[in-house]
Chain A
Amino acid sequence: MEVTASIDKENKTNIWGGGTSPLKASYGKIMMWFFLLSDVFTFSGLLVTYGFLRYSYPAYTGPVSAFKPSMDYWPIPEKIFDAVPFLHGIHLPLLFVGIMTFILILSSVTMVLAVEAGQRMDRNDVTKWMLWTIVGGLAFLGCQAWEWSHFISGTEEGMALSNGVIVHGANLQVNEYGPPLFASLFFFITGFHGTHVASGVFLNAIIFYNVVVGTYDKRGHYEMVEKVGLYWHFVDLVWVFVFTFFYLI
């Protein structure tokens, strides 16, 4: 046994000798990072798909003000997403998506404030900020539900197909905004992100419950809040990209 002990002592300074943690982070945090990395791959796959399919249709070349939806070219997003709840019939391009973006950014800030409070072992503050984060997440999901239902039900005018049939709204076969793939990609990309937000709210709710009943005070640290915070910021990060690639470009 003495031999082993002396080897251990010798290897104390050796990086492969055990007892060192080169990433200086707990295993749970590292695993969360690598899970998020795998999620980056998934969303990148969707982004590539979007780019491939979008450029399988010609871009609209006329003046933006004269834009009319057609099956022949890819629509301009600002001409499609121009509705805001309670302001029916007013053309307010991308305003509602902008509001959604601000809601998500704000809920990201409240999350990082919860993490900060957790590092101070301040249960009341963590409770407060986690609750705001959950409220923000639910508000975002509500906005997205409205956005989807408006997209699906469509406008009064609709779009006339070449055979004279008028299409209202959108489904997976046909939509009044442009090629069928436009609606499919809208549903898939924003839906996949929305699923992430929904599961984020669910995780936040579990952590919130644990904070309230004092689990982390007993444990002596609030690291779970940091882990779930990483996930929540990632959801915000993905929305930043969805906003640019789906709504702006």
Chain B
Amino acid sequence: MEQVVSIEVKPVNKKKVRKLWKIAMILGIVTAIEFVMAFTLPRGYLLYAGFIALTLLKAFYIVSEFMHLKYEVKALIWSILLPTIFVIWLIIALLAEGDYILNSLY
């Protein structure tokens, strides 16, 4: 069944590659900003909210561009995102409850 297939190699999509490196640079810069924030700003809920916002920004770039989810059909995007949104809600709810439970224990 071995058959000879002629393979057509297409040239590099320069625009796409440049975009990918740009996103990598954004990820690097955001990480650097997080670093600077960690050492210059006072610790507290405001700083933590900033960290989480920047983390979600990085997650958005990785999932939408690197994992290509942005370019899939809507049904696939939502079948991944919807459960994730519920999980995030669960995390927030459990952290709030956990704080309450531990405070009532001690």
Contact string, A226-249, partner B, CB cutoff 8 A, digits 1/0?
100110011011001101100011
Known: A44-B91, A48-B91. A113 touches B20 (CB 8 A): yes
Interchain CA distance A120-B65 in the complex, whole Å: 18
Known: A105-B31, A106-B24, A249-B51. A47 touches B91 (CB 8 A): yes
Cross-chain contact A94 with B35 (CB below 8 angstroms): yes
CB distance from A190 to the nearest CB of B (A): 17
Q: Which of A41, A51, A106, A249 contacts B98 (CB 8 A)?
A: A51
Cross-chain contact A240 with B55 (CB below 8 angstroms): yes
Known: A241-B59, A248-B34. A22 touches B9 (CB 8 A): no
Contact string, B66-106, partner A, CB cutoff 8 A, digits 1/0?
11100011011001100110011011001100110010000
Known: A24-B72, A24-B73. A44 touches B20 (CB 8 A): no
Cross-chain contact B59 with A240 (CB below 8 angstroms): yes
Asked if A25 CB lies within 8 Å of chain B CBs, one says yes
Asked if B46 CB lies within 8 Å of chain A CBs, one says no
Cross-chain contact A109 with B20 (CB below 8 angstroms): yes
Known: A109-B21, A112-B20, A240-B55. A122 touches B9 (CB 8 A): yes
Majority-rule SS of B interface residues: helix
Task: Give the residues in chain B near A40, CB-CB below 8 Å.
Answer: 83-84, 87
Cross-chain contact B91 with A108 (CB below 8 angstroms): no
Interchain CA distance A78-B35 in the complex, whole Å: 10
Of residues 107 to 126 in A, which have CB atoms within 8 Å of B's CB atoms?
108-109, 111-113, 116-117, 120-123, 125
Cross-chain contact B39 with A93 (CB below 8 angstroms): yes
CB distance from A92 to the nearest CB of B (A): 11
Asked if A164 CB lies within 8 Å of chain B CBs, one says no
Kindly report which residue of chain A lies nearest to residue B55, judged by CB atoms: A244
Asked if A184 CB lies within 8 Å of chain B CBs, one says no
Known: A52-B94, A244-B55. A230 touches B67 (CB 8 A): yes
Task: Give the residues in chain A near B39, CB-CB below 8 Å.
Answer: 78, 93
Known: A47-B91, A113-B20, A230-B67. A22 touches B75 (CB 8 A): yes
The 10 A-B pairs of least Cβ separation, nearest first, read A120-B10, A52-B98, A244-B55, A109-B24, A51-B95, A23-B76, A233-B66, A24-B73, A233-B67, A48-B94
